[in-house]
Amino acid sequence: MLRTAFPWLMLAATAACVPASGPAVGRADSPVNAQPGLCYALGSRISPALDLTPESPDAPPPLVRTSDLEESPEYWFETPCALRAGSRDFIEQIQRALAARDFYDGEITGIYDTATRAAVAAYQSEQGLESATLSTESAKALGLVALGRDGV
């Protein structure tokens, strides 16, 4: 029982759905300007990678001070509501899509477990998003969410 409830608890802690009746203004689990019927999660953008290639093969590698790196602020992003609802079928699709791209090598269980979260985080970090909660943008790129008429 706890094993099947745990992924749901993890999702509940990281993502939020806005009721179809209207946005929940000022709630801590969704953005103030949330669109009705959409789900959201918090993440941060990863700053572009620094080029640490030495200028010549004989040159020592450049030094990077931690003060040179800027902390990226958290922001709200849209996430598929099927993930928020804990849909085992949708989570199996996520696992299969990530396995096909060599990000996930675990069993296809339909449980949003630690291995699945790590695979999602690794996949999204390549797109510049630092979060283990799948974004709608990533779901579209993985072919899990239908694109609109304009391909968006």
Give per-residue pLDDT as tens, 16-74: 444 433 333 334 567 888 888 888 888 876 654 445 555 566 655 555 444 444 555 77
Q: Mean pLDDT, the chain, as a whole number?
A: 74
Residue 125 has pLDDT above 80, yes or no: yes
Q: Which has more pLDDT, 2 or 122?
A: 122
Query: 68-76 contacts: CB < 8 A, separation 24 or more?
Result: 72/44, 72/45, 72/46, 72/47, 72/130, 73/44, 74/42, 74/43, 74/44, 75/42, 75/43, 75/44, 75/45, 76/30, 76/31, 76/34, 76/40, 76/41, 76/42
pTM of the predicted model over 0.85 = no
Task: Report d(CA 113, CA 26) in Å as an integer.
Answer: 30
Cβ atoms of 71 and 61 within 8 Å: the answer is: no
3-state secondary structure of 16: strand
pLDDT given for residue 74 in this prediction: 75
pLDDT given for residue 10 in this prediction: 40
Mean pLDDT for 90-98 is 97
Point out which residues pair with 15 in neighbouring strands.
41
Banded pLDDT at 5 (limits 50, 70, 90): very low
Banded pLDDT at 128 (limits 50, 70, 90): confident
CA dihedral 86→41→26→74, nearest 10 degrees, is 160
Mean pLDDT for 102-109 is 97
**Short-list 95, 77, 86, 89, CA closest to 34:** 77
pLDDT given for residue 65 in this prediction: 47
pLDDT given for residue 19 in this prediction: 41
Residue 114 has pLDDT above 90, yes or no: yes
Cβ atoms of 112 and 10 within 8 Å: the answer is: yes
Tell me what percent of the residues of the chain surpass a pLDDT of 70: 59
